[in-house]
Amino acid sequence: MKTLLAISLFLFSSLVLAADAPAAMTPDAAPAVTVRGKVLEVKSVDSYTYMRLSTPNGDLWAAVVTAKVKKGSTVTIENGVVMSNFYSKAMQRTFPEVLFGSLAGSAAAAAPGGHALGTAYPIVPSAKPEASLETINDAPVAKASGANAKTVAEINTRSAELKDKPVLVRGKVVKFNGGIMGKNWIHLRDGSGSANNETNDILVTSASETRVGDIVTVKGTVRTDKDFGSGYAYKVLIEEATLQ
């Protein structure tokens, strides 16, 4: 109890210090938190790397987008948001508190591809923490209207024909990761296609921001067989997209 109280006081003082930093976009629109500590334990699962940190005010678990972090190193987590009683399906455990944020400084440079991940906004689970794409309800979304309007399934199944061509697609945001490699990474579904052949989901990269659960219309260019390196390879996606 004393440790949790000390951590809470430490997080509160960090909020004051970070008051001039850009506010983090989170489900609660809470102010950003910055924490620095020594890495005591590291566990990477799915899209996240969890770290148990030793701070001046006690141990604290933190999570960032998958990154190469060494046990014993000292890291700074910035733009963080504290999630209470957070259940991690991948870790199969409930954390009394876990700080979701982004790596700062040299630690960020050590992440896959050498990019600072989420430097403006933390990668925080929205709606349902760590929900896999397969578990999100694929409720039908009305198809976009106008020239080049396509469904998610049509883009996936006709990718060779649509390669390097503009498309317009309307769907529900089921996953959003911001500030990776200078882009925002958005997964859309509209109820078309099938999870069995992976035609029910399309990746969109954009400078625009959105949130999980939003219904958006995307205008962009279809790309195929794109490999960004560091494990980011896709058979089909939409790039240079704008959100309407």
DSSP sequence for 105-153 = HHHHHTSGGGPPTTSSS-----SSTT--GGGS-----PPP-STTB--HH
* Closest C-alpha among 108, 121, 78 to residue 211: 121
Of the ranges 46-55, 88-97, 115-124, 140-149, the best mean pLDDT one? 140-149
> Do 152 and 238 form a contact (C-beta atoms < 8 A)?
no
> Can you tell me the distance from the alpha carbon of 104 to that of 224, in angstroms, rounded to the nearest whole number?
32
Q: Could you tell me the two tokens for 201? A: 């989901």
pLDDT at 230: 54
At 82, the pLDDT band (50, 70, 90 cuts) reads confident
Domains 2-114 and 133-243 share a fold: yes
* Closest C-alpha among 11, 118, 15 to residue 67: 118
> Can you tell me the distance from the alpha carbon of 152 to that of 195, in angstroms, rounded to the nearest whole number?
12
164 or 46, which is more confident:
164
Around 63, how many Cα atoms within 13 Å sit in the side-chain half-sphere?
25
Q: What is the mean pLDDT of the chain?
A: 75
What is 133-243's CATH number, 3.30.200.20, 2.40.50.140, 3.20.20.70, 3.40.50.2000? 2.40.50.140
Non-local (6+) Cβ contacts of 122 within 8 A are 24, 26, 32, 79, 80, 81, 100, 101, 102
* Closest C-alpha among 180, 64, 75 to residue 117: 180
Q: pTM of the full predicted structure?
A: 0.49
pLDDT at 83: 77
Range of lowest pLDDT (10-14, 178-182, 227-231): 10-14
pLDDT for 175 beyond 50: yes
> Can you tell me the distance from the alpha carbon of 189 to that of 177, in angstroms, rounded to the nearest whole number?
16
Non-local (6+) Cβ contacts of 145 within 8 A are none
> Can you tell me the distance from the alpha carbon of 238 to that of 76, in angstroms, rounded to the nearest whole number?
33
Mean pLDDT value across residues 2-31: 37
212 or 27, which is more confident:
212
> Can you tell me the distance from the alpha carbon of 96 to that of 194, in angstroms, rounded to the nearest whole number?
37
pLDDT at 201: 92
> Do 68 and 51 form a contact (C-beta atoms < 8 A)?
no
DSSP state of 70: -
**Secondary structure (3-state) at 2:** helix
pLDDT at 91: 80
Where in the chain are the domains?
2-114, 133-243
The string of pLDDT tens digits covering residues 31-61 is 567 888 999 999 988 778 899 999 887 888 9
The fold of 2-114 is OB fold (Dihydrolipoamide Acetyltransferase, E2P) (2.40.50)
pLDDT for 130 beyond 50: no
Of the ranges 42-56, 131-145, 227-241, the best mean pLDDT one? 42-56
